[in-house]
Amino acid sequence: MATSMRGLTQFIADIRGARVRELEEKRINKEMANIRKRFKDGNLDGYQKKKYVAKVIFTYILGYKVDVGHMEAVNLISSQKYSEKQIGYLAVTLLMHENSDFLRLVVNSIRKDLNENNEIYNCLALHAIANVGSQEMAEALAEDVHRLLISPTSQSFVRKKAALTLLRLYRKYPEVIPAAEWALRIVSIMDDMDLGVVICVTSLVMALAQDHLDAYAVCYQKAVDRLQRLVVEHEYSATYAYYKVPSPWLQVKLLRLLQYYPPTEDPTLKNVLYEVLKTVMNNCAEPSRNVQHNNAQHAILFEAIGLAIHLDTNSPLVNTATVLLARFISSKETNVRYLGLDTMAHLAARADHLDAIKRHQGTIILSLRDKDISVRRRALDLLYSMCDVDNSELVVGELLRYLKVADYGLREEMVLKIAILTEKYAGTYKWYVDTILELLSAAGDHVGDEVWYRVVQIVTNTEDLQPYAARVVFEYLKSPSSHESLVKVGGYILGEYGHLIANDPGYSPIEQFQVLHSKSQFCMAPTRSLLLSTYIKWVNVFPEIKPQLVNVFERYRHVLDVDLQQRACEFYALATRADDDELLQNVCEEIPPFPPRESALLGRLNRKHSDTEDKRTWIHGGKEANLERSSTLRTRKPTLGDVNGTGPSKPEISTDITSSLMGLDLTSSPTGNNAPGMHTDFVSAPASLLAEKGIPRLTMNTNVDRWFNKLIYTPDGVLYEDVQIQIGIKSRYHGHIGQLAVYIGNKISAPLTSFTATLLVEETDALSASFAKIAPSMIAPRTQTQQVIHVECKKPFSNPPILSVSFLAGAHQTIAIRLPIVVTKFIEQVKLGQAEFFERWKLIGGPPREAQSIFPIALNEAGHVDTTKQRQVVAGSAFSVLEGVDPNPTNIVAAGILHMSEDGKVGCLMRLEPNREAKLCRITVRSTSEVIAAEVQKLIQKPLSADAPS
């Protein structure tokens, strides 16, 4: 650039040569005048425009205001020469802000560059959007940016930029980006081979996931997997090692991302995560001498400790972390001390008990006197967080002592925090009053009004405290100089409760009046008016000093301040009424207690923390503060129940339809294809709603149903198959425990990348299902991967878990299917004789512990009832078919015991009575639990019914 623009070099050199600022300004003014003239004359070629715009930019960088060159910059962007285009973009990003009118003019040029085949132009355009993207640009270009991000033909460096550009647009104008619908596609890029791309996409996911926790839930698994690969398996390209640490930025980002989610329940993920965190902590055991290496290690370590705290404050990892932190806060490195204190504050804010931290209280208090103000601030935060009932007197005392020498910048926050701690952990009211009044006298200027309002509130509401408070405040007022806040508190408290101590020696009315009135002359008008109110109260209770008080009113009747004057006049009139007048007494009635209300102090402090962009994962303050905060956060989190809100009504509707069509008397239990009551919901709910909750849309076709129905009564078989992928199942059950091996085969000749498998269990308290290990992120061509799922049945359930599999094969695809995990799988056979069977059958009795229905059946080729299949289904559902119980040989009688870990064992008896002529079959299930009877009846009937696809 420089060679081709001699004029610019000359210009820069001239400015640098200028000895004094005036010469520099002169040179610049001359140049700007020249440029203005040139631009006005027009007819400039690309090179000249570029040169002048570059000069304008340089001037701007020097800090001068520039008002020319915008239009020329816009023109340069559409130039076909890279060097001109680049200067144009630079000018646009530097000189213009997002609301600039000129940006309208560049939207089209930018779109053109986005669609260009030249990646470098793409990048320039993306970069410009990321810097100055306006709403108009967001609306016009978000789609294009997204396309560049997901297009398989995009180069890595384009995708990186596209990811961050999208993020910028989302931050500015969230409504233009359908975040939830793009979720799976975007998360899938976290598996990219290029770590640079992963970093950028992780940043994007982090921002989106905060607002759409459920939609982006898959990223949890991805992040854990990536961490494991980086930290434990050391799987990364060597160029991404920064001083031998594998991409610290990515690790930090991932660890942070995980903190936005509630701790995972999945045992496999948890184990992997703990292993990762342990490795990170061990890595830091031996500090190296290289500063950069240490820096990077520590960056990861601090984030890892944060995550460990987030996951479980009682885990052994946190103990290790506490030991490390204790070492850090007395480290020689200031940076480490600073972060050590910061992280310890996080721990204090979350931990159940603070003993481990309190052991280092001495060191922390010493840190308040660190030579670095940044460290002092962190120490203050930590002390605030670790304060509780036991150490409050010590901590607050320490803070008060420090307050007197603290930096001015720190004082206001300190005062607020001391006031809150004092109120929150006050053991005795006496201590509260002492401390707060000392606070008022020590740091008067920095005391916000909230603090003294609160004192008044508490004293008014606590009767026992009133005489003591009055006495103490009187003592404070006696000192020669007291701060105005103190005078206000004094005025209020003595006015209300001065009479309570008036009989004690040294506190007589006249003494009270003299002390208070001596302060009046140093106070502002509002304080003086408060004092006037005090005096009128005294007129009521202390008739002996009425002359002095009336005298004061009299004098104030002539002051210039309107408020004061008005009060004085009114009070004067009130005070000089006849003695038997009751008005004064009524006016000066004692103040009633305030209604209990939340401390305004906390509100003020929390306001300082309210978040705009990336949310903090914790706030300063004790455990309760954090709990409270997380519960408010959680309330807005949608639950699965919301989606299924319409659930119960749907099966009934379809029941009505079936019954009216067939004219059969059916029990109230739902029948037919809609057995898992949720199917309808998942299919009919709008896509965006499902995406928002992170619920996959179930893949539906007749094959899927047929495969599923078959697997209900067989242990092995195909669950899903299409041209690209095949999913097979092998299962084993024992009691309430089951194990499923899911075989996922890639049928095409290209690898399936960014492979993800997740399980969704709707009734988490009744059924648990989890993968034994995280699925690999890629399936090689024509190979198969096996995933083991552990299942445990705790209570009766009716919704089988959903397996959702997504992968990239050209386009991004998601398959979501129900796994054949149903109640009958947890049944074990039981052998019963005829007598025993009927005894129990009668014992259980009819409805509601009986479920019965009649359904159509198909006959086999020979025109007979397909007894073999019926037996197969019943036996496949793990019932033992009992021979010789029913006199009719075509009828099937069976028994089984359902095993559940929480609800124990439940016996189940059933009878199947097919009727060849009517092509109908009656099924009767009796069980000691009505829920189970209905559920088993549905499950057995489903594959047998003629309606079932076969």
Partner 1 sequence: MINAVLIFNTSGVPRLTKFYTPPQQSAQTLVQKIFSLISTRQASLCNFLDAPELESFLNQSSDDGEKLRVVYRNYATLYFVFVVDSAESELGILDLIQVLVESLDRAFENVCELDLVFHFDEVHHILSEIIQGGLVLETNVEEIDNAGECSESSRFADAAKARKDSYASSNPLSLGAGVVGSRGTSIQTPLGWLTGKLTGVGAR
Token pair 């992780």 in the structure block, residue: 202
Is residue 431 close enough to count as binding partner 1 by CB under 8 A?
A: no
Identify how many contiguous H helices and E strands the chain contains and give both numbers: 41, 16
Is residue 715 close enough to count as binding partner 1 by CB under 8 A?
A: no
Q: Which is nearer to partner 1, 2 or 835 (CB)?
A: 2
Is residue 127 close enough to count as binding partner 1 by CB under 8 A?
A: yes
Please state the closest distance from residue 186 (CB atom) to partner 1, in A.
15
Count Cβ neighbours within 10 Å for each residue of 98-126 and write b for 16 or more, e otherwise.
Answer: eeeeebebbbebbbebbeeeeeebbbbbb
Residue 453 assigned ligand-binding role: no
- How many C-beta neighbours within 10 Å does residue 689 have? 13
Is residue 97 close enough to count as binding partner 1 by CB under 8 A?
A: yes
Residue 52 assigned ligand-binding role: yes
Residue 53 assigned ligand-binding role: yes
- Backbone dihedral region of 694: left (phi > 0), alpha (psi from -120 to 50 degrees) or beta? left
Is residue 714 close enough to count as binding partner 1 by CB under 8 A?
A: no
Q: Which is nearer to partner 1, 101 or 917 (CB)?
A: 101
CA distance 519 to 727: 86
Please state the closest distance from residue 23 (CB atom) to partner 1, in A.
11
Among 39, 52, 328, 338, binds partner 1 (CB under 8 A): 338
881 vs 424, 565, 856, 860, CA distance in Å?
68, 101, 22, 21
Residue 851 assigned ligand-binding role: no
Spatial contact of 170 and 194, defined as CB atoms under 8 Å apart:
no
Among 290, 585, 688, 950, binds partner 1 (CB under 8 A): 290
Residue 869 assigned ligand-binding role: no
Structure token digits, residue 929: 């639990």
Q: With CA atoms as reference, report the closest residue to 665 among 809, 483, 799, 855.
A: 855
Q: Which is nearer to partner 1, 212 or 378 (CB)?
A: 378
Backbone angles phi and psi of 721, in degrees to 5 = -155, 135
CA distance 227 to 846: 57
Please state the closest distance from residue 32 (CB atom) to partner 1, in A.
17
Please state the closest distance from residue 16 (CB atom) to partner 1, in A.
5
Is residue 7 close enough to count as binding partner 1 by CB under 8 A?
A: no
Is residue 94 close enough to count as binding partner 1 by CB under 8 A?
A: yes
Is residue 160 close enough to count as binding partner 1 by CB under 8 A?
A: yes
Which residues between 813 and 842 bind partner 1 (CB under 8 A)?
A: none
Helix, strand or coil, per DSSP, at residue 852: strand
Q: Which is nearer to partner 1, 75 or 941 (CB)?
A: 75
Question: At a CB cut-off of 8 Å and minimum separation 6, what does 605 contact?
Answer: 416, 417, 420
CA distance 466 to 498: 9
Q: Which is nearer to partner 1, 158 or 803 (CB)?
A: 158
CA distance 946 to 825: 23
Is residue 102 close enough to count as binding partner 1 by CB under 8 A?
A: no
Q: Give the torsion sign (CA, 425, 430, 433, 439).
A: negative
Residue 579 per-residue DSSP state: T
Q: Which is nearer to partner 1, 28 or 87 (CB)?
A: 87
Stretch in the footprint of partner 1 (CB under 8 A) among 84-92, 465-473, 495-503, 581-589? 84-92
Is residue 446 close enough to count as binding partner 1 by CB under 8 A?
A: no
Q: Which residues pair with 904 in a beta bridge?
A: 900
Among 146, 168, 488, 736, binds partner 1 (CB under 8 A): 168
Q: With CA atoms as reference, report the closest residue to 308 among 227, 381, 385, 374.
A: 227
Which residues between 221 and 250 bind partner 1 (CB under 8 A)?
A: 239-240, 242, 247-249
Residue 51 assigned ligand-binding role: yes
Please state the closest distance from residue 447 (CB atom) to partner 1, in A.
18
Is residue 542 close enough to count as binding partner 1 by CB under 8 A?
A: no
Is residue 600 close enough to count as binding partner 1 by CB under 8 A?
A: no
Question: How many residues lie near partner 1 (CB under 8 A)?
Answer: 83
Is residue 56 close enough to count as binding partner 1 by CB under 8 A?
A: no
Among 23, 291, 687, 946, binds partner 1 (CB under 8 A): 291
Structure token digits, residue 633: 């956060």
Please state the closest distance from residue 293 (CB atom) to partner 1, in A.
9
Q: Which is nearer to partner 1, 120 or 844 (CB)?
A: 120
Which residues between 369 and 398 bind partner 1 (CB under 8 A)?
A: 371-375, 377
Crossing angle (nearest 10°) for helices 46-61 and 6-17? 20
Pairing of strands 716-721, 767-771: unpaired
Chain-centroid distance of CA 162 in Å reads 25
Stretch in the footprint of partner 1 (CB under 8 A) among 336-344, 396-404, 551-559, 593-601? 336-344
Q: Which is nearer to partner 1, 19 or 234 (CB)?
A: 19
Stretch in the footprint of partner 1 (CB under 8 A) among 85-93, 222-230, 348-356, 781-789? 85-93
Backbone angles phi and psi of 470, in degrees to 5 = -60, -40
Among 90, 177, 258, 280, binds partner 1 (CB under 8 A): 90
Please state the closest distance from residue 710 (CB atom) to partner 1, in A.
50
191 vs 187, 745, 813, 841, CA distance in Å?
8, 19, 15, 57
Residue 593 per-residue DSSP state: P
Residue 556 assigned ligand-binding role: no
327-335, Cβ contacts within 8 angstroms, sequence gap of 24 or more: 329/360, 329/363, 329/364, 329/367, 330/363, 334/372, 334/375, 335/295, 335/298
Question: At a CB cut-off of 8 Å and minimum separation 6, what does 366 contact?
Answer: none
Spatial contact of 623 and 617, defined as CB atoms under 8 Å apart:
no
Q: Give the torsion sign (CA, 702, 705, 711, 712).
A: negative
Residue 397 assigned ligand-binding role: no
Is residue 611 close enough to count as binding partner 1 by CB under 8 A?
A: yes
Among 73, 106, 190, 199, binds partner 1 (CB under 8 A): 199
Is residue 613 close enough to count as binding partner 1 by CB under 8 A?
A: yes
Q: Which is nearer to partner 1, 297 or 460 (CB)?
A: 297
Please state the closest distance from residue 803 (CB atom) to partner 1, in A.
34
Is residue 614 close enough to count as binding partner 1 by CB under 8 A?
A: yes
Tell me the binding residues: 6-7, 47, 51-55
